[in-house]
Amino acid sequence: MKRNFDEELIEPIEFTLGGEDYVVKELTADVMDGIDKILADEKDDVHTKMRKQLSIMTGKTPEHFAKYDLRKLIKVTAFITENIMGEKSKNSQAAGK
């Protein structure tokens, strides 16, 4: 059995925040490494970590997300994580067929 992932459509993760639409960039190993470094940095507070994560994933600056309530940023990052895990789950199920 062979499966060509280059030919499969992976839908972008999109969200709206503050009336503005955002698209999550490709989640490469470099992007994920950057997120891991942000999470491991003990000097940043939670709000700063959320802003930096969204910055890496969307290409906006961390300051761009400073105007948003922390609770909204947490919901957005949870939404992105759920979509990543959902895509991973779909791929695992399809590979098992």
12-50 per-position pLDDT tens digit: 899 999 999 999 988 888 988 999 999 999 999 999 999
Please list the residues that pair with 22 across neighbouring strands: 15
Q: Name residue 58's amino acid.
A: T
pLDDT the model gives residue 87? 63
What crossing angle do the helices spanning 29-40 and 46-58 adopt, rounded to 10°?
Answer: 170
Of 45, 55, 46, 94, nearest in space to 74 by CA: 46
> How many C-beta neighbours within 10 Å does residue 67 have?
9
- Asked whether the CA dihedral 4, 7, 8, 10 is positive or negative, the reply is positive
90 band by pLDDT with thresholds 50, 70 and 90: low
Element (H, E) at 17: strand 14-17
9 band by pLDDT with thresholds 50, 70 and 90: low
